[in-house]
């Protein structure tokens, strides 16, 4: 994938909705994130519309075609993990959206830092921690 340009930072659209992408090869992980974060990460923030990707190629295609407010990547995804995808996107996508990486364990935080993650949530996934991480990233993103 060559360098992909994205428009300026996405803000809430007319309906007060932002788009987030969740990448995991595991449908249960995708469901846990979507249900854990909910329709709105925190009071005062826009509603969330989720797009799911189950493959590395799917993530690259969706990111090239759409402006997402946040990318949530599963660091434990098979074949190409979220950390490798994060590193690739941060190096190849102009104005890359903030990235939240789901790590397999707290000790993997150093690797997520290498992948240039903007936030990290370790397993087991805690819905409150997920909501707070997404809310923090959204507050910084929609305020621009």
| CATH code at position 75 | 3.40.50.2300
ω into 20 cis (within 30 of 0): no
For residues 141 and 115, the model is more confident at: 115
**Domain presence at residue 37:** yes
**Domain presence at residue 102:** yes
pLDDT in tens, 54-104: 999 999 999 999 999 999 999 999 999 999 999 999 999 999 999 999 999
Q: What is the DSSP string of the chain?
A: ---EE--SPP---TTSEEEEEEE-S-HHHHHHHHHHH-S-SSTTSPEEEEEEE-SHHHHHHHHHH---SEEEEETT-SSS-HHHHHHHHHHHEETPPPEEEEESSGGGHHHHHHTT-SEEEESSPPHHHHHHHHHHHHHHHHT-
pTM comes to: 0.88
Predicted local confidence at residue 4, as pLDDT:
35
**Domain presence at residue 55:** yes
**Domain presence at residue 30:** yes
Binning pLDDT at 50, 70 and 90, where does residue 10 land? Answer: very low
**Domain presence at residue 20:** yes
- What domain range is 84 assigned to? 16-142
Binning pLDDT at 50, 70 and 90, where does residue 140 land? Answer: confident
**Domain presence at residue 4:** no
**Domain presence at residue 66:** yes
**Domain presence at residue 23:** yes
Total structural domains within the chain: 1
Cβ atoms of residues 101 and 12 within 8 Å: no
């Amino acid at each position: 994938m060559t360098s992909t340009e994205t428009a300026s930072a996405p803000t809430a659209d007319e309906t007060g909705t932002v788009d987030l992408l969740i990448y995991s090869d595991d449908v249960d992980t995708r469901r846990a994130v979507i249900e854990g974060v909910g329709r709105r990460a925190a009071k005062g923030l826009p509603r969330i519309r989720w797009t799911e990707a189950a493959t590395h190629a799917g993530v690259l295609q969706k990111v090239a075609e759409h402006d997402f407010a946040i990318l949530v990547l599963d660091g434990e995804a098979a074949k190409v993990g979220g950390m490798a995808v994060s590193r690739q996107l941060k190096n190849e996508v102009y104005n890359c959206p903030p990235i939240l990486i789901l790590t397999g364990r707290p000790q993997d935080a150093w690797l997520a830092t290498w992948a240039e993650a903007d936030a990290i949530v370790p397993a087991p996934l805690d819905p409150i921690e997920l909501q707070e991480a997404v809310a923090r990233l959204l507050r910084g993103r929609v305020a621009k």
